[in-house]
Amino acid sequence: MPIQRILSWNVNGLRAVRNKGFLEWFARESPDILCLQETKSHPEQLDEGLRIVPGYHSFFASAQRKGYSGVAVYTRQMPREVHTGLGVPEFDAEGRTLILDYADFVLFNIYY
């Protein structure tokens, strides 16, 4: 597998950074994988431009409580498997973990 450019960012609210040039920054940086933490939103709360980014597959883990924690991953390559949570109910309910299993590596996007 070629070298991957992986970026990680605690956005402190995905909808908030949307209005501050997030999509333009994303297009300019063009990472292979972008991990976001503290998204503070459920996918249905996001506009289509944040849910569906051309050239990327998107995955979200959201807290049961709206407006709280949450992580997301945008990836060019479709992983073999995607898992949310670690099997610990009190943490899994907070949408703090996404695990993406690729052929050559496993990516953990965790916010604690």
pLDDT in tens, 78-88: 999 999 999 99
28 close to 22: Cβ distance less than 8 angstroms: no
42 close to 62: Cβ distance less than 8 angstroms: yes
Q: In this structure, what CATH number is given to the domain that contains residue 77?
A: 3.60.10.10
Tens of pLDDT, residue by residue over 22-64, are 999 999 999 999 999 999 999 999 999 999 999 999 999 999 9
Q: Output the pTM of the full model.
A: 0.94
Gap between the Cα atoms of 48 and 54, Å rounded = 11
Residues whose CB falls within 8 Å of the CB of residue 72, separated by 6 or more in sequence, listed in order: 14, 35, 36, 39, 58, 59, 60, 61, 98, 109
Q: What is the pLDDT of residue 3?
A: 78
Does residue 83 belong to any structural domain of this protein? Answer: yes
Gap between the Cα atoms of 78 and 21, Å rounded = 26
Domain that holds residue 91: 6-110
Gap between the Cα atoms of 73 and 53, Å rounded = 11
Number of domains in the chain: 1
Gap between the Cα atoms of 77 and 75, Å rounded = 6
pLDDT-derived band of residue 1, with 50, 70 and 90 as boundaries? Answer: low
Does residue 36 belong to any structural domain of this protein? Answer: yes
Does residue 1 belong to any structural domain of this protein? Answer: no
The number of C-alpha atoms within 13 Å of 27 and in the hemisphere containing its C-beta is 10
